[in-house]
Amino acid sequence: MAEEKLGIMVCGHGSRNQNAAKEFAKVSQGLKKLIPEMPVEYGYLEFCNPVIHAGLDSLRDQGVTRVLAVPGMLFAAGHAKNDIPSVLNTYQAQNPGMTIEYGRELGVDLKMIRAASERIQHAIDACETEVPIEETMLMVVGRGASDPDANSNVSKVMRMLWEGMGFGWGETCYSGVTFPLVEPGLEHAAKLGYKRIIVFPYFLFTGVLVKRIYSYTDDVAAKHPDIEFVKADYLNDHPLVLETFKDRVAETRDGAAVMNCQMCKYREQVLGFEDQVGLAQESHHHHVEGIGGGLENCPCKGDCDASCREESFCKEHGLPWTPLHSHDSPGPLEPHDHSHEHGHDHSHGHDHSHDHHHHPYPHADHPHGPKSMKKS
- Indicate the pairing of strand 196-201 with strand 136-142: parallel
Q: What is the C-alpha to C-alpha distance for residues 85 and 351, in angstroms, rounded to an integer? A: 10
pLDDT of residue 319: 67
Q: Is the pLDDT of residue 209 over 80?
A: yes
More confident position, 342 or 205: 205
* Nearest by Cα to 289 from 97, 74, 86: 86
What domains does the chain contain, in order, with CATH numbers?
Answer: 6-106+241-317 (3.40.50.1400), 110-236 (3.40.50.1400)
Cα angle, residue 82 at apex, residues 172 and 352 outer, rounded to 5°: 145
Among 65-74, 90-99, 316-325, 327-336, whose mean pLDDT is lowest?
Answer: 327-336
The mean of the pLDDT values for the chain is 82
* Nearest by Cα to 11 from 89, 95, 119: 89
pLDDT of residue 113: 97
Q: What is the C-alpha to C-alpha distance for residues 95 and 7, in angstroms, rounded to an integer? A: 15
pLDDT band at 312 (very low <50, low <70, confident <90, very high): confident
pLDDT band at 17 (very low <50, low <70, confident <90, very high): confident
Longest dimension (CA), the chain: 71
Q: Is the pLDDT of residue 341 over 80?
A: no
More confident position, 307 or 317: 317
Among 11-15, 267-271, 359-363, the range of highest mean pLDDT: 11-15
pLDDT of residue 264: 65
Number of H helices, E strands in the chain: 10, 8
Spatial neighbors of 335 by CB under 8 A, at least 6 apart, are: 355, 356, 357
Q: What is the C-alpha to C-alpha distance for residues 55 and 37, in angstroms, rounded to an integer? A: 18
pLDDT band at 353 (very low <50, low <70, confident <90, very high): very low
pLDDT of residue 73: 94
pLDDT of residue 328: 42
**How do residues 100-140 score in pLDDT, each as one tens digit?**
999 999 999 999 999 999 999 999 999 999 999 999 999 99
pLDDT of residue 325: 45
Q: Is the pLDDT of residue 39 over 50?
A: yes
Q: For 22-38, what is the mean pLDDT?
A: 93
Among 61-65, 147-151, 176-180, 315-319, whose mean pLDDT is lowest?
Answer: 315-319
Spatial neighbors of 299 by CB under 8 A, at least 6 apart, are: 308, 317
Q: Hey, is 200 helix, strand or coil?
A: strand
DSSP per position, 252-313? HHHT-----GGG-TTTS--TT-GGGTT-----S-GGGTTTTTTGGG-TTTT---STT--HHH
Among 131-135, 219-223, 372-376, whose mean pLDDT is lowest?
Answer: 372-376
**How do residues 226-248 score in pLDDT, each as one tens digit?**
999 999 999 999 999 999 999 99
Q: Is the pLDDT of residue 310 over 50?
A: yes
Q: For 185-210, what is the mean pLDDT?
A: 96
Q: What is the C-alpha to C-alpha distance for residues 328 and 179, in angstroms, rounded to an integer? A: 12
**How do residues 58-95 score in pLDDT, each as one tens digit?**
999 999 999 999 999 999 877 788 889 999 999 999 99
pLDDT of residue 48: 83
pLDDT band at 338 (very low <50, low <70, confident <90, very high): very low
Q: What is the C-alpha to C-alpha distance for residues 225 and 246, in angstroms, rounded to an integer? A: 43
Spatial neighbors of 202 by CB under 8 A, at least 6 apart, are: 74, 116, 140, 141, 142, 143, 154, 157, 158, 234, 235
pLDDT of residue 272: 54
* Nearest by Cα to 141 from 105, 108, 107, 186: 186
pLDDT band at 18 (very low <50, low <70, confident <90, very high): confident
Q: What is the DSSP letter of 146?
A: S
